[in-house]
Amino acid sequence: MVFKRRDPRSILRIVGEAFWPRGGWMRGFQYVRHRMHRLPGTPEQIARGVFAGAFTIFTPFFGLHFFVAAALARMMHGSILAALLATFLGNPLTYVPIAIISLQIGHWMLGTDMRGEVDDSIFSKFAAAAGDLWHNFKAMFTDERAHWGDLHRFYDDVFFPWMIGAIIPGVICGVICYYISVPVIRAYQKRRTARLQKKMQKLRDQAGAAAAKH
């Protein structure tokens, strides 16, 4: 196959690179920053997209972050590409503290208490909810009865508090990223415009000199 990897990765390597990619996360951040600088649009439009992506990583909609960020950026008249790139601020190393912060704030806002420890709320209840989903899927084709208890507990203890609690830290992170991005992108665009103008002037001077010789 044309697109087949020359060095097939083992399952262990795939999992390992999900937590620590080749070149490290710093290299990934530098790539995202480089791509962000070269996006079309005004600094404000790009920064609104960054806000959308930064806010989205605090939400529990895993697997849908791209869609949520794109929809939010569209509503804000921001750069959708910037929003998609900004979701890479979230990674397996940052999602654990993000989950803890969002869950604790969510339960505080709702006036509820987290049943069990944080790791139990996130991992054990997530696994139990996934087990319910798989059982209910099989029940569609067998005589078994559907189970909803673990899904209800996951929604009440994890998903809903996380979704509510994500609002405050998500907005704070998004605002910080917005106000950092605007001057940085504006300065980069000015430098890039100056370089292009200098290059064009040099080409015009060379053309004029060539014409003068003839």
Taking residues 169-188, report their average pLDDT. Answer: 92
How do residues 59-83 score in pLDDT, each as one tens digit?
999 888 999 999 999 999 999 999 9
In a domain, 136, yes or no: yes
In a domain, 130, yes or no: yes
Same-domain status, 105 and 82: no
Q: Specify the pLDDT at position 34.
A: 60
In a domain, 144, yes or no: yes
Same-domain status, 105 and 143: yes
Q: Specify the pLDDT at position 134.
A: 81
Rounded mean pLDDT of the chain?
79
The band of 49, judged by pLDDT with boundaries at 50, 70 and 90, is very high
How do residues 128-151 score in pLDDT, each as one tens digit?
777 777 877 777 888 888 877 778
Same-domain status, 80 and 118: no
Domain of 110, in residue numbers: 93-181
How do residues 85-110 score in pLDDT, each as one tens digit?
888 887 777 888 888 899 889 999 99
117 contacts: CB under 8 Å, gap ≥ 6: none
Same-domain status, 133 and 153: yes
Same-domain status, 150 and 114: yes
Q: Specify the pLDDT at position 40.
A: 77
Percent of the chain exceeding pLDDT 70 equals: 76
Percent of the chain exceeding pLDDT 90 equals: 31
Same-domain status, 98 and 163: yes
In a domain, 48, yes or no: no
The band of 8, judged by pLDDT with boundaries at 50, 70 and 90, is low
The band of 1, judged by pLDDT with boundaries at 50, 70 and 90, is very low
Is 7's pLDDT higher than 60? Answer: no
Is 45's pLDDT higher than 50? Answer: yes
How many other C-beta atoms are found inside a 10 Å radius of the C-beta of residue 163? 16
Total domains, the chain: 2
Same-domain status, 87 and 97: no
Same-domain status, 86 and 134: no
